[in-house]
């Protein structure tokens, strides 16, 4: 199995254009799966061994995506914030180790956030 196939990232986004963009940004280093709804996200979270989840906040119910991912042991969760997360929610996310990146984000910012966290996870397992 290739190294790429071992690193699976799920993008949970309501907008197919953003899903394609996430796929394009990450596909060279990761296997990327995209879900457009909370239900699709839960199915993929339950059936795949995910290294990371990237989720929108509002239209796909980000809090429920996070809850499902954490229940399945996904250690790297990133929320894309277009300004709809209030200060209290941001504080809670930070306390629980969920990364928040602002939209729009740079491709390198997304890649580096995921790459760095997966490397840390791999190092802590060895």
Q: What does the longest C-alpha to C-alpha distance in the chain come to?
A: 43
Specify whether the CB–CB gap between 10 and 50 falls below 8 A.
Answer: yes
Topology adopted by domain 4-125: Rossmann fold (3.40.50)
Among 3, 4, 6, 68, residue whose Cα is nearest residue 35: 68
**Which residues partner with 33 through β-bridges?**
10
If the chain, 126 residues long, is cut into consecutive pieces of 10 residues, what is the mean pLDDT of each piece?
69 96 95 97 97 94 97 95 87 91 90 80 69
Note the pLDDT of residue 3.
47
Note the pLDDT of residue 104.
87
Which tokens hold the place of 94?
């930070």
| Domain limits, the chain | 4-125
Return d(Cα 29, Cα 81) in angstroms, integer. 23
């Amino acid at each position: 199995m290739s190294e790429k196939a071992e690193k699976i990232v799920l993008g949970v986004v309501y907008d197919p254009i953003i899903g394609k963009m996430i796929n394009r940004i990450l596909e060279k280093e990761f296997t990327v799966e995209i879900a457009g709804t909370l239900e699709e996200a839960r199915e993929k979270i339950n059936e795949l061994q995910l290294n990371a989840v990237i989720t929108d906040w509002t239209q796909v119910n980000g809090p429920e995506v996070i809850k499902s991912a954490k229940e399945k042991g996904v250690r790297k969760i990133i929320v894309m914030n277009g300004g709809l997360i209030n200060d209290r929610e941001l504080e809670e996310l930070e306390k629980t180790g969920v990364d928040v990146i602002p939209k729009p984000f740079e491709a390198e910012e997304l890649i580096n956030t995921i790459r760095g966290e997966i490397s840390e996870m791999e190092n802590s397992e060895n």
